[in-house]
């Protein structure tokens, strides 16, 4: 019998209810029901000992806003991970390294991950220095907290857990192959005056796969040419890109499509 691969994710947050609806719908809901993904939400406030259950305090040296206190976060992580020092502890913050599809793929191979959602003006630096094994940002913008970022990361990871999507599906998508996914069509064959390319209706699987690959190359060339620089393109791909470049220089020439 095949062993069920499951990723267990603990999330430390001041706002667990933010996670309820997004993680309880559609594919993520099914992933949890089928045992591929286990998600546990932990209220950081539950790990305070003071009467006011304070999780933040004024920053030393002055400055705007509040900083998340280290003690409740340390206590929560120790309570969750016990003596297991192998569990990755990931802080979501705008100062982290930028999250990529490759990172999602790698993280999906971990049996367990702990996410810490920062809030306010950030977390005490000692959390970073003594607890955190990785710090991730989902992009060059600042959110009100790490919760939405954690949900984005969890969603991207879940797609790579075996059994969550149809076999191979996550690897066909934009970025997994290094290319953006080309255009997709469904019925009807003609809509808004635009016809679905005949090749897609031809039933010739090899021809369709070739067309889709070139459509992906074309979209990547037009929108994210930087991605092509990191790829091992074969001679046919390079020739196709050359054609696209020529077409760009002489737009009057007929396009294959």
Q: Which residues bind ligand ADE (CB under 6 A)?
A: 92-94, 118, 137-139, 141-143, 145-146, 149
Shortest Å distance, C-beta 47 to ligand ADE = 20
121 as an active site residue: the answer is yes
> Closer to ligand ADE at the Cβ: 12 or 149?
149
> Closer to ligand ADE at the Cβ: 137 or 214?
137
Q: Residues 147-185, buried b or exposed e (16+ Cβ, 10 A)?
A: bbbbbbbbbbbbbbbebbbeeeebeeebbbebbbbbeee
224 as an active site residue: the answer is no
188 cis-preceded (ω within 30 degrees of 0): yes
> Closer to ligand ADE at the Cβ: 140 or 226?
140
According to DSSP, the residues that pair with 116 across neighbouring strands are 12, 91
Shortest Å distance, C-beta 257 to ligand ADE = 37
- Chain residue whose CB lies nearest ligand ADE: 149
Shortest Å distance, C-beta 92 to ligand ADE = 4
> Closer to ligand ADE at the Cβ: 37 or 116?
116
> Closer to ligand ADE at the Cβ: 90 or 165?
90
Catalytic residue among 155, 173, 181, 243: 173
173 as an active site residue: the answer is yes
Task: State how far Cα 130 lies from the chain centre.
Answer: 25
Catalytic residue among 88, 94, 162, 197: 94
Shortest Å distance, C-beta 143 to ligand ADE = 4
Shortest Å distance, C-beta 132 to ligand ADE = 13
159 as an active site residue: the answer is yes
Q: Which residues are catalytic?
A: 94, 121, 159, 173
């Amino acid at each position: 019998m095949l062993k069920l691969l499951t990723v267990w994710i603990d999330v430390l947050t001041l706002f667990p209810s933010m996670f309820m609806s997004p993680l309880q719908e559609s594919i993520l809901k099914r992933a949890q029901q089928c045992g591929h993904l286990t998600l546990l939400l932990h209220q950081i406030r539950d790990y305070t000992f003071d009467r006011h259950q304070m999780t933040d305090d004024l920053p030393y040296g002055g400055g705007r806003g509040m900083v998340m206190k280290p003690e409740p976060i340390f206590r929560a992580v120790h309570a969750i991970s016990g003596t297991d020092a192998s569990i990755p502890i990931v802080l979501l913050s705008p100062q982290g390294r930028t999250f990529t599809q490759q990172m999602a793929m790698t993280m999906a191979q971990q049996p367990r991950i702990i996410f810490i959602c920062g809030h306010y003006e950030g977390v005490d630096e000692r959390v970073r220095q003594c607890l955190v094994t990785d710090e991730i940002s989902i992009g060059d913008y600042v959110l009100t907290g790490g919760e939405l970022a954690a949900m984005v990361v969890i969603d991207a990871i879940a797609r790579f857990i075996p059994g969550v999507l149809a076999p191979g599906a996550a690897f066909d998508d934009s970025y997994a192959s290094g290319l953006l996914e080309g255009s997709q069509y469904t019925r009807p064959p003609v809509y808004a005056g635009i016809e679905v390319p005949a090749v897609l209706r031809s039933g010739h699987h090899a021809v369709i796969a070739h067309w889709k690959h070139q459509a992906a190359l074309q979209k990547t060339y037009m929108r994210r040419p930087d991605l092509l620089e990191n790829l091992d393109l074969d001679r046919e791909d390079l020739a196709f890109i050359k054609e696209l470049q020529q077409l760009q220089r002489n737009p009057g020439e007929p396009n294959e499509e």
